[in-house]
Amino acid sequence: MNQSKNNTGVTVDMLRAFVCLSRHLNLSKASDELGTTRQTVRRHITDLEVIMQQKLFEVVDRQYQLTSFATEALDKAKTLLLELDTWSGQSVLKKSTSGGLEKLQFTDSAGRVYYSQQHPVSQIAMNGLPLLKKTFAAWGKAQTQIEHEAMEEIKPYTVLYRKGPAGWVFVHIGKESAYARWFGARVSQSAIGKLITEDDAGDEYDEFTAGAYSRIYDEGGVRLDHILAHLPKDGGEPEPGTFQRLLLGGVFPDGTPGLIILAVITEQVEIDAVSDTDRPKMPADFIMDALPDHPSAVTQLPQPRKASHSTL
C-alpha cells in the first residue's frame, strides 16, 4: 500500500474503529457502538491500513477476520486508546508510574475500586513470601523452561497461559493455586482451554488484570505486583481479596513462549492507596503465606466459588 500524501497520521477515530471492529467483527455492530455510519467505520479502517501499509481485516464468507498483523497490533492499539482516555479523564482505569513501577486503579460499574501496584523484583529476595522465593529460584534454575524438573515442585501453585489469536488461553491451573483455592477445583479445571476474557468484562478491566502479560510474555521477563481485587463468591456479589502476583516468562518444550503466573493470597500487600484499616481481612484457610511441608500433596481446598473477572 502507498501512503497518501494528504494523510496527516493516525487519529483516535481510526484506532477506535479498529478496536471496535476487531471486537465485533461485524461492520453494523461496530458502527452502532461508535454511533456512526458503516461507511465512516470502513473509511477509518482503510485510512489506517494505508498508514500502516498492512491489511488489518479480511472478509471471508461475509465475515470480517483479523489478519495476523492486526492480531499482533491489537493490544498496542487498545493500550494507546486506554492511555488517551485516562489522560482525558474518560476512563474508569487510572494508570501512573513512579520510579519506573506501575500503579493501576480500576472502578467497576458498581463503584468497587481495584488496585494494583508493581514492586521491585528484588523485594522477593529481601523479604518475599516463601512460595514466591521458591518459585523465583525454580524459574531461574529451569532457565525459563516450563517443563524443566526444577519447576515440578511449584507447578501445583501456578497458572500457565499461551497467547492465541483471540487472547490468553488457560493451559494449566494448579490444584493448589490461588485460582483453585478461590474458585474451587471443579471450576478451575473447567477453565482449561478457555480465554481469560470470555466473561467480556471490558477492555479497561482486561488492561487492569492482564495489561502486563504481553510485556512479560514478549520479553521473557519477570514482574511482581500487589493487588486488591473483588471476586464473586457463590454466584453473589464480589468480595475483596488481596494477593501478591508474580509474572514469569516461560518457554514450552516446542520452543513457543508461555506465561507462568503465581498468585499468593495474603494480607501482606503494600498498596499506597490502601491503608491498613481499609485492607480486607482474608479467611485463614485461604492465606498462602506459609509453604506446605509436602507441596506435592493435594490440600483440602475451600468451597468452590463462581469464576468471573479473574485476576488470579
Q: What is the DSSP string of 75-133?
A: HHHHHHHHHHHHHTT--SEEEEEETTEEEEEEE-TT--EEEEEEE-THHHHHH--HHHH
Candidate from 184-193, 254-263, 297-306 with smallest mean pLDDT: 297-306
For 20-77, write each residue's pLDDT tens digit. 999 889 999 999 989 999 999 999 999 999 999 999 999 988 889 999 999 888 888 8
Q: CATH for 94-265?
A: 3.30.450
CA angle, corner 234, sides to 268 and 264, nearest 5? 20
DSSP 304: P
Q: Could you give the residue range(s) of every CATH 1.10.10.10 domain in the chain? A: 12-91
Predicted confidence (pLDDT) at residue 233 exceeds the cutoff of 70: no
CA angle, corner 261, sides to 255 and 264, nearest 5? 155
For 179-222, write each residue's pLDDT tens digit. 998 888 777 888 899 887 665 556 667 777 777 888 888 788 99
Q: CATH for 12-91?
A: 1.10.10.10
Q: Could you give the residue range(s) of every CATH 3.30.450 domain in the chain? A: 94-265
Partners of 159 in the beta sheet? Answer: 173, 261
What is the Rg, in whole angstroms, of the alpha carbon atoms belonging to the chain?
A: 21
User: Are the C-beta atoms of 290 and 130 separated by less than 8 Å?
Assistant: yes
